[in-house]
Homo-oligomer: A and B are copies of this chain.
Amino acid sequence: MPALRYLTAALAQAIDARLMAPTDGAFSLDQLMELAGLAVAQALAADYTLPKYTRVLVCCGPGNQGGDGLVAARHLAHFGYEPTLYMPKPGNKDIYKRLEKQCVNLSIPRLTTLEELRHTLSAQAQDVILDALFGFSFLGPVRAPFSAVLPLLRDSRLPMLSVDIPSGWHVEDGPVRLQSDEGEDLGPALDPEVLVSLTAPKLGVKGYKGRHWLGGRFVPPTMAREWELNLPEYPGGQQIVELPRQGAL
């Protein structure tokens, strides 16, 4: 079996674009986001079981990865978890607002200020963090308000599951010290216990040593061959598959 391919940011973007092109993959963003977010929720449920890990702080960025996070929060609520949303900079797109509304309909609470974030973390009022802040288009440095958010999440020492690329990591170069856009050193990179790569893993997580899931079971095999993704087989009707741990014998 040829090795799994790790994607550059450019290839990840090209794949997304082709999956959603009407005369090509023909998927809607709604479909892909729903399947991605469901996969993330199922991975979290596989690793952080109820009732030990009930309270999930779901941190969503303004882009499509934030949308995946909102979908995951909704599914987690249906699964019996108690998600809390934190969107330091909510997205403007219509789909984002609809996904937010779906969470409101489930009475999922939301933190609105950095102070509330600091308080919930220091009060140990969360059991696990779902990091859906930055996706594969993030290249750094970290701008406000995220320059305050990321160190808080990291320093909470809560177990963390990141989507696609841990927020603040360089999508191709991997873990780098957090640096603000004003040149301030914000300390070490996030160190999530669990990672859920979507569609295919990105170059920056090639050396990632934690538990690693793959989700996004929607890539047509013809496209996977064309791009030489060499995806593993998903088991049965599952939406996630575990990738071998780096460095494991």
A34, A45, A75, A234: residue with the most chain B Cβ atoms closer than 10 Å: A34
Number of interface residues of A (CB under 8 A): 37
Report A20 CB to chain B, min CB distance, Å: 10
A45, A107, A237: residue with the most chain B Cβ atoms closer than 10 Å: A237
* A217–B98 touching, CB < 8 Å: no
> A41 — nearest CB in chain B belongs to which residue?
B237
A interface vs B, CB < 8 Å? 22-28, 30-31, 34-35, 38, 41-42, 45-46, 74-75, 78-79, 95, 98, 101-102, 105-107, 217-218, 220-223, 234, 236-237, 239
A30 to B102: give the CA distance in the assembly, Å. 14
A217 to B38: give the CA distance in the assembly, Å. 11
* A27–B98 touching, CB < 8 Å: yes
* B236–A102 touching, CB < 8 Å: no
* Other-chain contact of A42, B26, B223, B237 (Cβ < 8 Å): B237
* A102–B25 touching, CB < 8 Å: yes
Q: How many copies are assembled?
A: 2
Once A26-B98, A42-B237, A101-B26 are accepted as A-B contacts, the answer to whether A107 and B31 lie under 8 Å apart by CB is no
A101 to B25: give the CA distance in the assembly, Å. 8
> A98 — nearest CB in chain B belongs to which residue?
B26
Jot down 10 A-B pairs with beta carbons below 8 A, ordered by A. A24-B105, A26-B102, A27-B98, A28-B28, A38-B239, A45-B237, A78-B234, A79-B236, A79-B237, A105-B223
In the bound complex, residues from chain B placing their C-beta under 8 Å from that of A31 are 30-31, 34
Report A17 CB to chain B, min CB distance, Å: 15
* A26–B105 touching, CB < 8 Å: yes
A239 to B45: give the CA distance in the assembly, Å. 13
> A97 — nearest CB in chain B belongs to which residue?
B26
* B220–A106 touching, CB < 8 Å: yes
